[in-house]
Chain A
């Protein structure tokens, strides 16, 4: 079942075109890796899929009832998040914000789901801890739990293991692989890690 079709995409900034005539499709349950050198337009591609940027030309189509709201996103960490005073629970719950509309507070179902997502990511014990005091691997799992709260059918991950040590990296890959194999979550992941790309992915998009 195809979820996303990209047709003749041209991406870039202003007059500077970095991706030319790119077409591909992503099916449910696939594990897709996006590789390429710095500045080759990997982040631009996923931001276009997420609707954060518009393509210069070409289009992104969502197929067979799949919508943009069913994509969870794991962005790269920004500098200022590293000293942000927020508890793990607050961050994970913020994944529901898109579904809240004008409702100001989270309801019971959402809180329970957040708990499940945290225990799936093995961070339930940390739920009251401060985000900035966690290790890099724990922080990534917090953001992954938040992405799961936002949507569970597809995850788009922007270099999920950048800055992690080898142990934390392989844990992260295992968690992502479990989500893909056990929960049938479609994965689109940007990675520089050729070994992991070969080992896990069903499809490689090299820009």
Chain B
């Protein structure tokens, strides 16, 4: 098995997939903790559908390097969603559901009308489940992913305490002089960036799993914010690594395999919680 893996290691696309996969897993799990706690889980889901719609637009316009366009559209939608969240006429969750469903529908419609490809359902399936695209990354995609994910990690570390304060208690943070709106905006933009990155790994349908599972697993066992964040990052990176290696060796779809690994980890952590009653790491 190791020989087989070493053989695959010779191919650059396998190395690219491993690097990008682990980086994305780290970024998405960093945000996952905040998103799950802020009850923002569906913003991730909604934005991934927006990114799907944007990709459809890009492919209709025959833009080969679609990453920048998708990134811009998703960031704009993330900001808009956050704004409508404050608007009382359409509540936050309804706005997310609306944008999510519309962009999914429009995306598929556009691909259906304008697609030059003979294998339309195959294309859609690939975009949704990301089964192939991580194995077709170019060196430019890898560099873009590396730079963006490094930025996400640095921004998160720099604003870690502020993100904690805003997540735990927005009203209090505001009253003590923290610009909570700005940090919510920052979180929305980072989320959008991470989702566009993650589209390449697991596709738009499975992104929520990548964002939510590591955080939920870590929360089963650890009881303070720092340990939960660190644990979910390590867990997510490990699951991504294992998932990619298994999928390369046995030919299973990459995205689904990673999510299966995340689900397994969740079940294990859930059992640990039940058995030990949880423990606190100082």
Contact = CB atoms under 8 A, between A and B. Distances in A.
Interface of A: 47, 50-52, 68-69, 71-73, 75, 78, 80-81, 84-87, 90-91, 93-95, 97-100, 104-106, 128-130, 132-133, 143, 146-147, 150-151
A130 B280 contact: yes
A90 B175 contact: no
Given A84-B168, A86-B168, A132-B223, 11 more contacts: A52-B171, A73-B171, A73-B175, A75-B169, A81-B168, A86-B225, A87-B280, A94-B165, A94-B173, A130-B224, A133-B223
A93 B168 CA distance: 12
A91 B160 contact: no
Contacts of A91: 168
Interface of B: 37-39, 157-162, 164-165, 168-169, 171-178, 219, 222-226, 228, 280, 282
A73 B172 contact: yes
B162 A128 contact: no
B161 A85 contact: no
Given A105-B161, A129-B280, A97 B226 contact: no
B219 A128 contact: no
Given A97-B176, A150-B176, A85 B224 contact: yes
Can you list the 3 inter-chain pairs with the closest CB atoms, starting with the nearest? A98-B177, A98-B176, A130-B223
Nearest to A50: B175
B175 A71 contact: yes
B171 A97 contact: no
A104 B160 contact: yes
A91 to B, nearest CB: 7
B161 A86 contact: no
B31 to A, nearest CB: 15
Contacts of B157: 104
A30 B280 CA distance: 41
A86 to B, nearest CB: 5
A68 B178 CA distance: 12
Nearest to B160: A104
A90 B282 contact: no
Most central of A86, A128, A150 by chain B CB within 10 Å? A86
17 contacts: A73-B175, A85-B37, A85-B224, A86-B164, A86-B225, A90-B164, A90-B224, A91-B168, A94-B168, A95-B176, A98-B176, A98-B177, A104-B159, A104-B160, A130-B224, A133-B223, A150-B172
